[in-house]
Amino acid sequence: LPFGFYPITKTRKAGLIIPQDFDFRSAEGFGLENFGWYQPINQYMDARVMFRAYTGGTVGITGDLNYNRKYYYQGNFNLSYNNRVIENSYAEREKNKSFGIRWTHSQDSKAHPTRKFSGSVNIETNRNQNRNRNDFQSVYQNQLRSNMNYSQTFPGKPYSLTVGLAHDQNVQTRQMNVTLPTATFQMQQIFPFKRKNPVGKERWYEKLALSYNSKLQNTLTTTDTALFTRATLESARMGIQHSARTNVALKVLKYVNISPSLDYEENWYPYSTRKELLPENRLVYRNITDPETGQVVGTEIDTAKSQFGIDTTYRVWGFNAFRTYNAGISANTTLFFTKQFKKGWFRGIRHKMTPSISTGFGPDFTKSRYNYFREVQTDTRPKFNDTLTYSIFENNIYGRPSSSPRQMAINWSLGNLLEMKYKGRRDSVARKVRIFDNLGFSGSYRITADSLKWSTVSTGGLFRFFKGITNIQWGVTFDPYIADERGRQINRFMIREKGRLVRTTNFNMSLNNNFTINQLRDIFKGKQVEAASANNQKSDQLINWFDTWGVTHRIEVARRLIPTGVGEARDTFIISNHSLGVTGNLQLNAKWTLRLGNISYDFPSKRLVYPDIGISRDLHCWELNLSWQPDRGTYLFNINVKPGTLGFLKLPYRKNNFDGF
């Protein structure tokens, strides 16, 4: 292969970027990828513009801007546009235009002591990455997210300010949620009655705490192609929320913590919602046929398909606000049970319990004096007309007042943590291990309810095994009441009707394994598990070739109850998710390497999920690469200058969508 010798200079030079090679696709023709122009701008910034074009009409352009100012900031801004033109099986030309924006910015920690600006933006239209790139992440990444924030703290003050934008997008459904802007002003908890020069014991009122939080948010929900339309902008949900909280922490009987609290919330909106029933009927007629002759003898109104009155919902622009407030009290404590042994492998057990109980009460906001709710007619026919009560703050960004009458409930919870100590024959000191972490129970008792006062009891937890590489998450819901044939609760207790305290209504469990072969070997050898390394370690032993291979395994099991009678149901367990995946590189010898970019198996569907297999050959200053993705019918074969060998050539790694075979 020919070599080129180039002079190395210390000056910044602009120039052409020569494409790697020619490309051919049966659906798009001959083409060139990654040719363009490189332009240094100053000592902190450079840019390049890359083009792609095919004889079938496919064109694309990408602008890439890099900037880096030491001790201040660094980032990258990428803007791409693609118009992919292919010929389908009917010899018709299909055009798919797509657009993408990527921006990452990070500020150095030494740049400023109180101000920080960083984040990332990743927005695209019409599946830009999926159509034009072929790596596993681009093909199977269904969610795109952006988060860019500016934060400011005030030295010596308990205040902080955060301003930013957020975005999430589903590539498959093309649903997009954009929050711009979003701002939060927060006052940390302060003690306004605390003495500056305390003398003697602390007074109870000095423990009185006050906190304040203010949020502004504007959210757009649309598809990626209708982001900047007028209808999208007019349907934006926006508002400002103020919330304040005051509470005091008191200790009773030395070990019980009592905390009364008062919460106040005020929401500002630039509009309110109105509903009306327009006195217009949209009638649908159906034919009347003679049952003997089958002939049409007349028509009649189809009441099931006709509309008697047109429902309309609209916005009334103008300042509107609603305020809510409530008071509450909570109590909690911590209980410990510890037992230790001096002999044997089992050296001790420790059980920590954190019981908690709370209640709250507030006014009924459905009363007319608050003017938060209104009524609307639902039918122009008097005998079918039912009045509908709605809130003028429906579907607002910070919600609406509660429409339920004033209720009072006692909420309770119980957290558990169980640990044990053991000492093996080779251990000099006893080791501590958690048997279960955060095993919790929670429920409530509704004092003001006329029936079904006891709520369901929820429990769940997280179990960790094998030094954290395996964990089991589970959750169960119990109901103290029996159910009817449709599975609905009846105000009759299970203990009285069936002799059992509760019945199980929901169960789910997931088993997750995530490890490398090296971590698994260390567990069997009794070594400390370390983080996986990305570097391949050469070894003469066959088993060591697979040390850096990563294995992920997940199985989710859920219980579904099919009602079979009063208070009875048939258990049905289903496996909602079960997959096994492997990634890693295998160094076959000093020159050949096998790469598994991704290969996983989905057990419910009984198929491989996007295998991405590659092999490479070290040619000293050059390298040979072959990759294959059978699901998409794509492959890549190239011979490149090895990265890092002749680095001044700066050849990019190709990730475009290559022709299938």
627 in Cβ contact with 136 (< 8 Å):
no
Which residue positions in the chain have pLDDT lower than 70?
1-9, 20-21, 89, 91, 135, 523-544, 561-571, 643-661
Burial of 349 (0-12, 13-18, 19+ CB in 10 A): middle
Distances (CA, A) of 275 to 39, 232, 377: 58, 21, 9
Q: What 3-state class would DSSP assign to 386?
A: coil
pLDDT of residue 248: 93
pTM of the model: 0.70
315 in Cβ contact with 273 (< 8 Å):
yes
pLDDT of residue 532: 47
Query: Distance between CA atoms of 68 and 490, rounded to whole angstroms?
Result: 67
3-state helix, strand, coil in the chain (%, to 5): 10, 60, 30
Render pLDDT for 348-384 as a digit per residue (tens, 0 to 9): 999 999 999 999 888 888 888 889 999 998 888 888 8
Nearest residue to 55 (alpha-carbon basis) of 80, 75, 25: 25
Angle 241-174-87 from CA coordinates, rounded to 5°: 160
119 backbone φψ class: left, alpha, beta (φ>0; ψ -120 to 50): left
458 in Cβ contact with 502 (< 8 Å):
no
Render pLDDT for 553-587 as a digit per residue (tens, 0 to 9): 889 988 776 656 554 556 678 888 898 988 888 88
Distances (CA, A) of 371 to 320, 401, 427, 616: 11, 11, 71, 72
Q: What 3-state class would DSSP assign to 182?
A: strand
DSSP per-residue letters across 58-115:
-EEEEEEEEEEETTTEEEEEEEEEEEEEEE-TTS-EEEEEEEEEEEEEEE-TTS-SSE
How many Cβ atoms are within 10 Å of 516's Cβ, its own excluded?
A: 22
Q: What is the torsion angle, in degrees rounded to the nearest 10, for the CA atoms of residue 147, residue 216, residue 177 and residue 83?
A: -60
pLDDT of residue 644: 63
pLDDT of residue 121: 93
